[in-house]
């Protein structure tokens, strides 16, 4: 088990290196990345033997990005990694002893004979001359050797229910696989992208002349690395490629099964005799997040993923104590909160008002496990059709499931599209300036991080637009921006530009983070909420994408666009790849994540 999965049990320590500007030289640090505070390890099956493994791995500091392995060895040479469990040292290594051929630090340490109850783990770094108290991190967790259905809030279904679900899934998958083979044989034209697997750059399989790419690789010949490249500008537009049919069907593998899984989880709330006492163990309550719009919705999508991993359904608790969803205070809505602008996450949302006291409500302080970024291992095991899919597929499915406009927002989107006179196809461009440029997690140049934070110049966006115009002949643009200057610069070009009619200077001209301005009513909450959602949906309806993947809003719109198209659209990011690893932390979670 990794995390809350119950076999094998893994306690993951993250050895992270972080520069400290207060010191003459950057010092490494040690952190527990998993499990979260007060996590409980327990077996799922009474015959299962409980095992705990302390797994350590190192993350390189951004300032070490260009260091060779020998240079990394010199950086780590003075340091020892020390792990204590219940005030007893259980492991000590010279950091260089834990390095592999790539300069990465990692080790697995089995821990035996832990008694039931609470345990305290401490990890720290010491060097040959001194110890630094600030380079220490402590966390407590629980161990239970008896087979339990629940463990401190992380619920598990009975095995009989699991077996029934597996039988349903096996039958459904056989149906999907048969349909997949039939459609490919009968409906997909033979492509000319490949003749054999060798033409797929070792990252795919040649099927009917089209390369079916492995996880997080894309392109006509699987030449594009989604997680590391900032531009996807193929010679042939993917929408016009003969291999589009095969690739789209491969993308759809597992979508129906994933949808059925979601329906099974929420159907429990649709039974006529259901009440809160009967279903409370199947719910995953969480409070409304208070962040910028893009981060806000990404956070909810992570909650959604975590709940499915626990065979539960996510329920947002909005009340006097926790507050309501930050962007749901719109005067035109009969209801406030999430349901004002978006459809309920599930039918279980109707029980949220009843969950007032005595329920563990998940918050950001509990952390975002890194595994929620990936298609869950247990879900892949249950649905083998999902195995070829990577992070982008998973993110696209999550945001597509969550971002379903309410009837009020649907009507608003229709009116705005008609009033702007939007004609397809068009290029979606998101230019974010304003408060985002002051965020400490966002750097304009990821390859060579500057000492000061900042956003990319408008000229860089215009250059990216020119790339698409030259390659595909596209002349229409939907521009989403918080900058009057960006709007003016784009409208001075000979492109046809669509954008919302807003007073951007008054609404967005501040270095104070937007979530704080909304919370204190220092800005027009309803206008920000409506314009943000309209921008996301109109951006996602485009055919090509230009934006800043250093921010959540661009990534969110891009993920939704890819999910709706069913294939990787041509795109260019002006600062970072779509999925990057940030060195900045807040509590137990990353500030930036996929």
Structure tokens, 359: 């329920």
pLDDT-derived band at 510 (thresholds 50, 70, 90) equals very low
pLDDT (tens digit per residue) in 192-202: 889 999 999 98
Q: Which 3 state secondary structure label does DSSP give 447?
A: coil
Ramachandran region, residue 382 (left: φ > 0; alpha: ψ -120 to 50; beta: rest): alpha
Q: What is the CA radius of gyration of the chain?
A: 25
Q: Which 3 state secondary structure label does DSSP give 488?
A: helix
Whether the per-residue pLDDT at 155 is higher than 50: the answer is no
pLDDT (tens digit per residue) in 87-140: 888 888 888 887 765 567 776 677 777 888 888 888 788 886 655 544 677 778
Whether the per-residue pLDDT at 224 is higher than 50: the answer is yes
Higher pLDDT, 368 or 401: 401
Q: Dump strand ranges (E) for 163-276.
A: 204-207, 210-213, 217-218, 224-225, 231-232
CB 63, CB 443: distance < 8 Å:
no
pLDDT-derived band at 61 (thresholds 50, 70, 90) equals low
Structure tokens, 365: 């302080």
pLDDT-derived band at 35 (thresholds 50, 70, 90) equals low
pLDDT at 24 (0 to 100): 36
pLDDT (tens digit per residue) in 434-486: 655 655 444 433 444 444 456 788 999 999 999 999 999 999 999 999 888 89
Which stretch, 505-509, 525-529, 586-590, has highest mean pLDDT?
Answer: 525-529
pLDDT at 108 (0 to 100): 67
What mean pLDDT, rounded, does the chain reach?
74
pLDDT at 382 (0 to 100): 43
**In the chain, what is the straight-line distance between the N-terminal and C-terminal CA atoms, in Å?**
23
pLDDT (tens digit per residue) in 294-351: 888 888 888 888 888 788 889 888 877 777 777 777 777 776 778 888 988 888 888 8
Mean pLDDT score, 507-520? 47
pLDDT-derived band at 62 (thresholds 50, 70, 90) equals low
> What does the DSSP 8-state code read for residue 319?
B
Q: How far apart are CA 116 and CA 511, in angstroms?
A: 50
Residue ranges of domains in the chain, CATH in brackets = 9-152 (2.60.40.10), 189-252 (no CATH), 256-386 (no CATH), 408-590 (3.40.50.11350)
Question: What's the farthest any 2 CA atoms get from each other in the chain?
Answer: 72
pLDDT-derived band at 161 (thresholds 50, 70, 90) equals very low
Alpha-carbon dihedral of residues 440, 446, 451, 454, nearest 10 degrees?
Answer: -60
Pick from 156-165, 280-289, 412-421, 570-579: least confident: 156-165
Q: Dump strand ranges (E) for 71-156.
A: 79-85, 88-94, 106-111, 117-127, 131-143, 150-151, 154-155
């Amino acid at each position: 088990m990794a995390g809350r999965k119950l076999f094998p049990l893994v306690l993951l320590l993250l050895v992270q290196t972080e520069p400290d500007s207060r010191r003459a030289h950057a010092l490494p640090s040690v952190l527990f990345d998993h499990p979260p505070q007060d996590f409980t390890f327990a077996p799922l099956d009474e015959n299962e033997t409980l095992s705990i493994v302390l797994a350590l791995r190192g993350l390189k500091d951004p300032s070490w990005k260009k260091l060779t392995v020998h240079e990394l060895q010199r950086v780590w040479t003075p340091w020892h990694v020390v792990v204590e469990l219940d005030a007893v040292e259980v492991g000590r290594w010279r950091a260089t002893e834990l390095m592999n051929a790539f300069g990465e630090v990692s080790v697995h340490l089995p821990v035996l004979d832990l008694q039931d109850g609470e345990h305290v783990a401490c990890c720290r770094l010491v060097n040959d001359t001194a110890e630094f108290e600030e380079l220490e991190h402590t966390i407590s967790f629980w161990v239970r050797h008896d087979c339990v259905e629940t463990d401190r809030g992380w619920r598990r279904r009975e095995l009989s229910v699991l077996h029934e679900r597996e039988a349903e899934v096996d039958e459904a998958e056989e149906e999907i696989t048969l349909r997949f083979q039939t459609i490919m044989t009968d409906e997909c034209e033979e492509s000319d992208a490949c003749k054999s697997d060798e033409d797929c750059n070792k990252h795919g399989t040649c099927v009917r002349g089209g390369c079916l790419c492995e996880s997080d690789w894309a392109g006509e010949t699987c030449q594009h690395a989604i997680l590391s490249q900032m531009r996807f500008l193929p010679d042939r537009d993917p929408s016009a490629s003969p291999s589009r049919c095969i690739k789209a069907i491969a993308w759809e593998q597992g979508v129906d099964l994933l949808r059925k899984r979601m329906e099974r989880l929420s159907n429990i709330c649709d039974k006529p005799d259901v009440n809160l006492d009967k279903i409370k163990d199947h719910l995953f309550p969480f409070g409304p997040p208070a962040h910028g719009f893009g981060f806000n919705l990404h956070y909810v999508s992570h909650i959604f993923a975590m709940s499915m991993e626990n065979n539960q359904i996510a329920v947002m608790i909005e009340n006097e104590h926790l507050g309501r969803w930050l962007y749901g205070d719109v005067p035109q809505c009969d209801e406030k909160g999430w349901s004002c602008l978006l459809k309920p996450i599930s039918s279980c949302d109707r029980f949220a008002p009843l969950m007032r006291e005595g329920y563990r409500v998940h918050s950001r302080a509990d952390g975002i496990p890194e595994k929620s970024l990936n298609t869950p291992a247990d879900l892949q095991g249950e649905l083998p059709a999902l195995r070829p899919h990577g992070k982008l597929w998973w993110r696209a499915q999550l945001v597509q499931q969550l971002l379903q406009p309410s009837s009020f927002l649907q009507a608003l989107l229709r009116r705005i599209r008609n009033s702007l006179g939007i004609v397809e196809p068009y290029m979606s461009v998101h230019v974010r300036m304003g408060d985002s440029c002051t965020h400490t997690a966002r750097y304009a140049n990821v390859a060579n991080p500057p000492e000061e934070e900042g956003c990319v110049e408008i000229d860089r966006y215009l250059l990216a637009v020119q790339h698409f115009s030259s390659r595909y002949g596209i002349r229409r643009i939907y521009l989403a921006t918080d900058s009057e200057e960006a709007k003016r610069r784009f409208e001075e070009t000979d492109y046809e530009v669509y954008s919302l009619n807003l007073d951007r200077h008054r609404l967005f001209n501040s270095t104070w983070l937007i979530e704080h301005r909304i919370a204190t009513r220092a800005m027009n909450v309803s206008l920000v909420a409506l314009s943000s959602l309209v921008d996301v949906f109109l951006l996602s309806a485009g055919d090509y994408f230009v934006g800043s993947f250093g921010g959540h809003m661009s990534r969110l719109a891009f993920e939704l666009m890819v999910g709706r198209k069913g294939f990787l659209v041509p795109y260019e990011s002006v600062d970072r790849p779509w999925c990057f690893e940030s060195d900045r932390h807040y509590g137990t979670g990353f500030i930036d994540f996929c």
